[in-house]
Amino acid sequence: MEFSEYQKLSRQTAVYPAIGKGFVYPALGLAGESGEVVEKVKKLFRDQAGEVSNDNRQAIAKELGDVLWYLAQLSTELKIDLDEVASNNLEKLKSRLGRNCIQGSGDNR
């Protein structure tokens, strides 16, 4: 499935309260769901010495699906195509790799 296809199809389930601008709710949801992914990873180390079971993997995959949904809704609200986001990100990373600055910090390296 292409990102833009997911973006279009996921829009059918985009039912959320109108708070502020249309992008506010999905932006907040994206942050919350990302936190849930991180929380599950943290608990892997706290409770299971970092070992990932199939159950853990499936639970994280579900949370990643929620992250993807909110990302798609935020992108749609801002009229940003996810295919372009993915393509531009790969180009940026390939450029950094070619210039030997894949590591480090800062957006414009």
Q: Residue 85 pLDDT more than 80?
A: yes
**Chain Cα centroid distance, residue 72:** 9
Per-residue confidence (pLDDT) for residue 70, from 0 to 100: 98
**pTM summary value:** 0.89
Structure tokens at 86: 């993915």
Per-residue confidence (pLDDT) for residue 61, from 0 to 100: 98
What does each C-alpha distance from 88 to 62, 65, 73 come to in angstroms? 26, 21, 19
Percent of the chain with pLDDT over 70: 100
Q: Residue 18 pLDDT more than 90?
A: no
Q: Residue 14 pLDDT more than 80?
A: yes
Residue 103's pLDDT band (boundaries 50, 70, 90)? Answer: confident
d(CA 12, CA 26): 14
Over residues 55-82, the pLDDT tens digits come to 999 999 999 999 999 999 999 999 999 9
